[in-house]
A = this chain, B = another copy of it.
Amino acid sequence: MRAFVYDQARELDASAFADYLDPRTTAVISIDMHRGHLDDSPDCPCPAPRARELVAPIDAFHDQVRALGGRIVHVKSVLRPGGADDVGGIPSAWRRTFPLHIGPIPNADAHAIEGSPWTEWVTRVEPGDLRVENKRRLSAFYPTDLDFLLRNQRITTVVLDGGFTDCCVLNTAFDANNHNYRVIVLRDLVRGTDAHLEAAALSMVSLHLGLVMESADLLDQWRANRA
């Protein structure tokens, strides 16, 4: 089975990772594929332009997952209007630190506001999919009910795709690991701040948190296990 360890393709013994590879106890967690990150406009409130190219491949992957009977949980940031969870209280750190690197973000205050277009999904959400729509900071787990949902569905493995490999995806991988889920991050279906931090985040996952794989390789494993 092919996986990536510290940025190198390696052939691993799939039987040593059998607990990672059962689609019946797996959920795909798709992170923050919404217009507030992906919109190609100057007033995009928290731009993640590198992730735009993921929309079609993620949709295609999710279709394969659904065809195999797997579950998909779409998670996105939504903030209460009026700023009670963020700018009207204790503001998110990134609002001051990220502009030190990329420059001013003029419309940042509009980020993720409930009921605004910035919270609309860009990837496709099908009726049978699950949604977590109150991510407030970086993790898909806190302060949402994702862990509650996954336990209730007896999920033991999470497969991550989506936005900001070195931020929300990596944070979610840490949290999933601490809650004892088996973690797989799909390197072809995540994008980071830039290629350097993206690769570094994937290396961290591969050393400390779980498996880094290509989506096609994971689908092959699932199909083989099912046969």
Q: Are B149 and A85 closer than 8 Å at their CB atoms? A: yes
**What residues of B have a CB within 8 angstroms of the CB of A137 in the complex?**
177-178, 180
Chain A 155-194, CB-CB to B under 8 Å as 1, else 0, gives 0000000000011001100110111101100000000010
CB atoms of B93 and A177 under 8 A apart? yes
Copies of chain A in the complex: 4
CB-CB < 8 A to A25: which residues of B? none
- Count of chain A residues with a beta carbon within 8 Å of a chain B beta carbon: 65
Verify A149–B17 contact, CB threshold 8 A.
no
Contact with B along A107-141 (1 / 0, CB 8 A): 00000000000000000000010110010111100
Chain A residues within CB distance 8 Å of chain B: 5-6, 10, 12, 16-17, 80, 82, 84-86, 89-90, 92-94, 96-98, 100-101, 128, 130-131, 134, 136-139, 142-145, 147-149, 151-154, 166-167, 170-171, 174-175, 177-180, 182-183, 193, 196-197, 200-201, 203-204, 206-211
